[in-house]
Chains A and B, each alone.
Chain A
Amino acid sequence: MTGIDATSVMYIIEIIIGGLLVAIGVHFVPVGGAPAAMAQATGVGTGTVQLAAGSGLTGLLAAGLMMKMTDDLLLIVASGAVGAMIMIDATMVVGNWVYIYGVGAPPASAKVNYDPITKLPQPPYMAPGTVGQGIPTVCYVSGTIGGLLGGAGGSLIYFALLSINGNPGLSGIFAIGIFLVNAVLASWNIQGTIEGFHDTKFKRWPRVLQAALLASAIIGVMAVMITGGA
């Protein structure tokens, strides 16, 4: 166990910023939950936390490797962000393969009449009795941004923890824990499904900012105190 000094406060702030990035990033990830698995709703057919954690922690692996080679914060965080984006993008592309070739349905958003990026009309391509399916361009771009923020957040948390204790295993597992707390908080705010930044639910993000700020601050202090002695 170690005391809290000025350096520790800086690391706690980094953990808080990382937590906030994760919480906001989850709001960008287009997930349709169980209905999307039956092509009944737009987005990826899984849960918010599941996909955000899958991509964010893949980014953590990339950041962990980079931090072994350099102590440049920007490079480490960028490497984590890019790793997460690659995972979520590969997943969404293959997800669209399944919707298009396996189910035979074109991607369509149910939340907007026209895709804000491509301007393509959406309602005529929505299957009857469903609220959209697949991952149209706006959702895809939103998911990429979500991966970027989640990967960057997770990497920043890992950077702070490893700077304190120098133990990659301990820092990695704590980073996963802090990541999941913030992802779950965001998931409660979303209440199940969200299409991305064009979804009306996205406007709820200021609420989760407050919750994540509080949770990350408490966990940040605990994590620094516990892992500091390792």
Chain B
Amino acid sequence: MIRLKRIEKTFRNGGVDTPVLKGIDFSLDEGEFVALMGTSGTGKSTLMNILGCLDRATAGQYEFDGRDVVALDDVELSRLRNEKIGFVFQQFHLLPRSSALTNVMLPLVYASQYPADARERAEQLLAMVGLKDRMGYLPGQLSGGQQQRVAIARALINRPRLILADEPTGNLDRQSALDILDLFSDLHRQGHAVVIVTHDQEVAARARRVLHMVDGRFEREEVRP
């Protein structure tokens, strides 16, 4: 599904070049569950942003479903994000003045086709993540774990094939974190490709494949049966 070749990313700040990614080769198949591990500053979030088409690489090749992502313009990239990728962030990033239901439906605002069953879909997803009776709540009225579940439902509303999660349990207590990880395992079982960025060994243990990053490169790869 995804193929990266010799991806480099260099940040330029005040005339000083800081290379963050130094030649990453990576491929992801349909339905895989991968964890990107590493201490902070190793470039895992940067790689994730490039994977999610939020940022562009300085050099290298990126193919998504056979399409050359490097050649896509802003509108095409946005459409790709909208249709094929669901993001889950450490800080949840919910709209504070909108209900859980409205938050879940947000990606549909930017969809090229607004589905007729948008509301039913959102309700089903909220039920799936265990928030059936919290649909009208504002984010401030929900616990951290519940907010993250709303964010996961939002990531799923457009039926993306790839879920990208950046430290999704970083802001949660232990029990909530476990619940969220169970959700990701479920998504994987349902056939979604999942990439989780984490520095937590316990989180990475859920994945079939763990890539360890050090200083902008993959240092080693573990594959579990």
A binds B: no
